[in-house]
Amino acid sequence: MRPNLARRLAALLDCAAVFTATLALVVLTARSPLGRWEADVLGRPFFEYMVMLAAPLLVMVLARRSLRGQGLRIGHPSYHLGVGFTAAVPYSCAYAAAQALPSAMGPWAQAAAQATLTLAALGAAVAMLRKKPTFEGLPVVWALLPLAGVGMPDVGRAASALAFYTLFLSTGEEILFRGYIQSRLNAAFGRPFDLSGVRWGWGLLIASAFFAALHVLNLPALATGEVSLLWPRAIPTFVGGLFFGYLREKTGSVAAGTLVHGLPQGIAVAFLGM
């Protein structure tokens, strides 16, 4: 076997093994007494996403991989916040529009529409990020616009939703998929392509496919012992993976993608009940 091919196959098998082992640990945590207590008392899978965050980190440490090389860096906070908030504008618009799609469309039509909206948001983000953004002076009023005219929500519920989506769900998924998997595949496959000055490669596409697979497998159902595959989710989550993966390639970090991934969902659930 040619060395290049062997290296790429090893990277694919490694990523598949880490993905499978992480998913198994998450499901075991959900089915444990701790997971059952959490479901009854907290109502959100905080511990499961702590496992999703910790498992790839443990592999990185044991394999003595550079955490900086895996996208776990934020050397210039204003830059990463600037990229995150700038990209969050089109992504939030696409997310809100996707939530408003009529259920009468059917799951596959909804999935296609969601994917189209996210792809359009990605195109807008690429165009907006051609100039180097910084957080200083960046208007962030957009983040408060969904709250206009909305009464004060239950404080505990809002805090729980914001914490879960911004600190646990988005962080866990970004470290696993864009931190570990995308970085590992980039090292093996390289980044031969260019999009508006941003280098990317097959790692972006394959990591997005793993990300889509997680959502097709339907984690909440697996946690209860059921197998209920949600195939329509493959399309929009794959495109969502492209969006977050592009931000990882743009910045060299998972920070901006984590912000864009979690903040719109957290605001929508905490204040709008979506």
* Residues 101-113 pLDDT 10s: 998 899 999 999 9
Cα–Cα dist 118/221, whole Å: 26
- Quick one: how far is CA 232 from the chain centroid? 18
Buried b (16+ CB within 10 A) or exposed e, 100-136: eeeeeeeeeebbebbbbbbbebbebbbeebeeebbbe
pLDDT for 1 beyond 50: yes
Question: Bigger pLDDT: 152 or 221?
Answer: 221
Residue pLDDT, tens place only, 251-270: 999 999 999 999 888 888 87
For Cα atoms 118, 238, 222, give the angle at the middle one, nearest 5 degrees.
120
pLDDT confidence band for 216 (50 / 70 / 90): very high
Q: What is the pLDDT of residue 75?
A: 79
- Are 59 and 180 spatial neighbours (Cβ–Cβ below 8 Å)? yes
| Spatial distance between the Cα atoms of 52 and 256, rounded to a whole number of angstroms | 19
Residues present in the chain in total: 274
| Band of residue 274 on the pLDDT scale cut at 50, 70, 90 | low
What is the distance between the terminal CA atoms of the chain, rounded to a whole angstrom?
51
Query: Which distant-in-sequence residues (6+ apart) come within 8 Å of 18 by Cβ?
Result: 55, 56, 59, 176, 180, 181
